[in-house]
Amino acid sequence: MPEAARRTSEILSVGERMDALDWKTAEESLSNRGYAVVDPILSPAECASLTALYKDESRFRSQIIMERYRFGIGDYKYFGHPLPELVSNLRTNAYPHLAGIANRWAEALGMTGLRYPEDHAAFLRVCRKAGQTKPTPLLLHYEAGGYNCLHQDIYGEVSFPLQMVFMLGQYGRDWEGGEFILVEQQPRAQSKAEVVHADQGQAIVFTTRYRPVKGARGYYRVNLRHGVSRVHRGTRYTLGIIFHDAK
Ligand SMILES: [Fe+2]
């Protein structure tokens, strides 16, 4: 079996698949660019099973029609408790790999009092203390003409500095356009945009809000926002994994 197929094979648990990813390379990419694209994690069948949940209203706590808030054109749904097992496994098993990076970023930014716990359950207790108890993993859906304005996913005073989006379909086959966009506001300079490509089953790990950038006199903080450019054809489904819960 080819390596990539073996890794996304459902024979391996989600935890084993997460552990097999090259997190060192991902951290380098995150530190240099504010994002990383990791090897495929989800099989096509798992992507299809997640996409199929979109029609099952009982799985979700709320639906946002983006046009109503001028967030863009498209809609997304936040999963309710209990989260689907696969979604919960992705969130729980990715978190420990990212907490190390989050702590090194906090240290670089001089946030000495800030320490992200090593496991996600402990981080959710921090969220709970701040009144953030609603789950934030979500499915996003765009048809041709849809897009998502640049934004940050902040739902209260507690936030985790990294998040993930999983491609549930394939660019070029299921949709065209609809690129993931990351814009970095550099201090005293013009903003910089990156278009980030990932294939079905892959995830983009990206900066939720701020990342440290090394300057001549130590690290400084840059602000990032993300969005999706207009979908020209087809239907685009993705799974968003945000690690902090919402108020
Ligand atoms: Fe977002």
What CATH number should be reported for the domain holding residue 219?
A: 2.60.120.620
Is residue 77 in a domain?
yes
Is residue 247 in a domain?
no
Rounded to whole angstroms, the Cα distance separating 204 from 91 reads 14
What is the full DSSP assignment across 118-140?
Answer: SSHHHHHHHHHHTT--B---EEE
Is residue 44 in a domain?
yes
Rounded to whole angstroms, the Cα distance separating 54 from 86 reads 14
CA of 207 to the centre of ligand 1 (A): 10
Is residue 246 in a domain?
no
**The total number of structural domains that make up the chain:** 1
- pLDDT at residue 8 in the model: 67
CA of 131 to the centre of ligand 1 (A): 21
CA of 149 to the centre of ligand 1 (A): 9
Please give the residue range of the domain that contains residue 142: 3-241
Residue 56 phi, psi dihedral angles, 5° rounding: -95, 90
Each residue of 15-68: pLDDT tens digit? Answer: 999 999 999 999 999 999 999 999 999 999 999 999 999 999 999 999 999 999
CA of 140 to the centre of ligand 1 (A): 9
| Residue (of 195, 200, 190, 207) closest to 238 by Cα position | 200
CA of 189 to the centre of ligand 1 (A): 24
Is residue 47 in a domain?
yes
The pLDDT of residue 90 is above 60: yes
Is residue 168 in a domain?
yes
pTM for the model stands at 0.96
How does residue 3 score in pLDDT terms, banded at 50, 70 and 90? low
Is residue 30 in a domain?
yes
Average pLDDT over residues 112-132: 96
Each residue of 197-210: pLDDT tens digit? Answer: 999 999 999 999 99
Each residue of 137-174: pLDDT tens digit? Answer: 999 999 999 999 999 999 999 999 999 999 999 999 99
Distances (CA, A) of 205 to 33, 34, 91, 101, 243: 11, 8, 12, 12, 12
Is residue 197 in a domain?
yes
CA of 125 to the centre of ligand 1 (A): 23
